[in-house]
């Protein structure tokens, strides 16, 4: 992924990924309720995302459309975390996650399935 988003921009994108195409006003209303941002803050972040190519704006009503899929951003952010904190070692990240949380039998089974799919 060539587009690098900061945390606040990802919050805007999360609304679009969850809601689908929606107006800037609706994004602003949702983020005001969720994180307390005012309209100007949200509009500035939307414009930054447009400038980066992550959001496409159309008229009428300043309709916003996510131009990048959530999975692409998740993969890029995960790779950055692995490289920055775990010396590029995904197994160190995996071990850290497993060591910090009590998992249910269902979660353990799902993790086993994921590992088997990778093999």
Q: Phi first, then psi: give them for residue 64, nearest 5 degrees.
A: -105, 140
**Whole-angstrom distance, CA of residue 109 vs CA of residue 77:** 25
The predicted-structure confidence for 77-86, as pLDDT tens digits, reads as follows: 888 888 998 8
The predicted-structure confidence for 28-62, as pLDDT tens digits, reads as follows: 999 999 999 999 999 999 999 999 999 999 988 89
The pLDDT of residue 1: 55
Return all residues near 33 (Cβ < 8 A) that are at least 6 apart: none
The pLDDT of residue 63: 96
Q: Which residue has the higher pLDDT, 64 or 106?
A: 64
Predicted TM-score (pTM) of this structure: 0.78
Residue with tokens 């949200």: 42
For 57, the token pair is: 């704006």
Average pLDDT over residues 62-77: 94
The pLDDT of residue 107: 83
Q: Which domains does the chain have, with CATH numbers?
A: 7-70 (1.10.10.10), 91-119 (no CATH)
State the Cα angle at 3 between 86 and 5, rounded to 5°.
Answer: 65
The pLDDT of residue 43: 97
Distances (CA, A) of 30 to 38, 59, 63, 85: 10, 20, 15, 32
The pLDDT of residue 52: 95
């Amino acid at each position: 992924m060539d587009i690098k988003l900061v945390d606040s921009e990802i919050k805007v994108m999360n609304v679009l990924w969850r809601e689908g195409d929606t107006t800037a006003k609706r994004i602003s209303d949702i983020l005001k309720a969720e994180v307390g941002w005012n309209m100007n803050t949200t509009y500035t972040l939307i414009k930054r995302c447009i400038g980066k190519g992550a959001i496409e704006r159309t008229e009428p009503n300043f309709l916003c459309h996510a131009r990048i899929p959530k999975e692409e951003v998740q993969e890029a952010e995960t790779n950055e975390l692995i490289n920055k904190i775990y010396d590029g070692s995904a197994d160190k990240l995996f071990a850290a996650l497993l060591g910090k949380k009590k998992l249910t039998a269902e979660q353990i089974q799902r993790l086993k399935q994921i590992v088997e799919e990778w093999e």
